[in-house]
Structure 1
Amino acid sequence: MNILFVCTDNYTRSVIAELCMKEYLKSTNNNSVKVASSGIRANSDISKYSSIHFEIMQELDIDTSDFKRTQFEEIFFEKFDVIIGMSELHKDYIKQYYNREIYLFNEVFNGQQTPVISSPNSDDFLEQMNQLVRYINNSVPYILKNLEKVK
């Protein structure tokens, strides 16, 4: 199975999901699943964005060395069996520009039609990012298990 996570800039949520899943697949010797991430505007300026999520993942022994931003393209519908958006914005974008349906991350994880929230301007940003990385990382086994039921 080939899985693609999609977010806006392909810098935070989709990248965390990709790298956490890659680490989980490696730790469980699962070679049957390939995973990647992309963004609906992966050519955006991210120079003012925090990179703290990379440090948090590294503290959790999640390899971040193969990080690269990738712009979402129509060809991905052929390359990936499952495309998972991190929020309604991504789901709506794909529907509007490609007339295709994709899953939401939380829809696959726990059956809820809710976004994975990232709060870049919050007062407790470090704690929010810690929670975000851990939330996504802890959900990976369930995402894989639930996708097996869907596919």
Structure 2
Amino acid sequence: MNIMFVCTDNFTRSVIAEFCMKDFLRRCNNTSIKVTSAGIQANNDISKYSNIHFKIMKELNIDTTGFTRTMFDGKFFNEYDVIIAMSDLHRTYIKEQYNRDVPLFNEIYKGQKTSVNIGPPDRKDFLEQMNKLVHFFYESTPLMIRNIEEFRTKTHPLIDSN
């Protein structure tokens, strides 16, 4: 199964989800699931963005080697079994640009049509919020994998889930 997480710049939310899941799959020696991420504006200048999430993931022994930003493209619908948006902004963009419906992360994870958001880096509690965000993705991964497989089976029942 091929999974893609989508956010805005392909620098924070989708990247954290990607590398947390890759780490979990590596630890479980699961090679049947491939994970990547993309952004609907992955060509934006990110030089002013915080990269603290990479440091937090490193503290959790999550290897982020090979990180590259990828611009979302309609061809991904043919390459990925499940494309998951981080927020309504991303879901709406994909619907408007490609006339395709994609689920939200929280929709698959906990059955809630809510966005995964992180505030701006100038917030006083930004480090704490980023730490919570990384741990949210890290801790959600086992259940998320199970739920993605169930979602995929319900959405595309004729597709072999192996």
Shared topology, TM-score over 0.5?
Answer: yes
CA distance in 2, matches of 1:105, 1:137: 13
**1:144 maps to which residue?**
145
CA distance in 2, matches of 1:23, 1:100: 29
**2:8 maps to which residue?**
8
Deviation at 1:150, TM superposition (A): 1.8
Ranges in structure 1 where 5+ consecutive residues have no aligned partner: none
Identity %: 58
Give, as a single letter, the amino acid of the residue that structure 2 aligns with 1:16.
I
Deviation at 1:131, TM superposition (A): 0.2
1:92-103 mapped onto 2 (5 Å cutoff): 92-103=92-103
Count the aligned residue pairs. 151
CA distance in 2, matches of 1:126, 1:86: 20
Consecutive aligned runs of 4 or more in structure 1 exceeding 2 Å deviation: none
Give, as a single letter, the amino acid of the residue that structure 2 aligns with 1:24.
F
**2:58 maps to which residue?**
58
Return the TM-score normalized by structure 2. Answer: 0.92
CA distance in 1, matches of 2:100, 2:149: 21
Provide the secondary structure at the position in 2 that maps to 1:5: strand
CA distance in 2, matches of 1:60, 1:36: 19
Give, as a single letter, the amino acid of the residue that structure 2 aligns with 1:146.
N
CA distance in 2, matches of 1:147, 1:49: 30
Give, as a single letter, the amino acid of the residue that structure 1 aligns with 2:63.
D
Question: After superposition, what is the alpha-carbon deviation per residue over 1:95-121, rounded to whole angstroms, capped at 9, x for unaligned?
Answer: 000000001000010000001111123
CA distance in 1, matches of 2:41, 2:126: 23
- Alignment RMSD, CA only? 0.6
Provide the secondary structure at the position in 2 that maps to 1:6: strand
Provide the secondary structure at the position in 2 that maps to 1:20: helix
Quick check: which has more Rg, 1 or 2?
A: 2
Return the TM-score normalized by structure 1. Answer: 0.98
Ranges in structure 2 where 5+ consecutive residues have no aligned partner: 153-162
**2:109 maps to which residue?**
109
Q: Does structure 1 residue 19 correspond to structure 2 residue 19?
A: yes
Give, as a single letter, the amino acid of the residue that structure 2 aligns with 1:110.
K
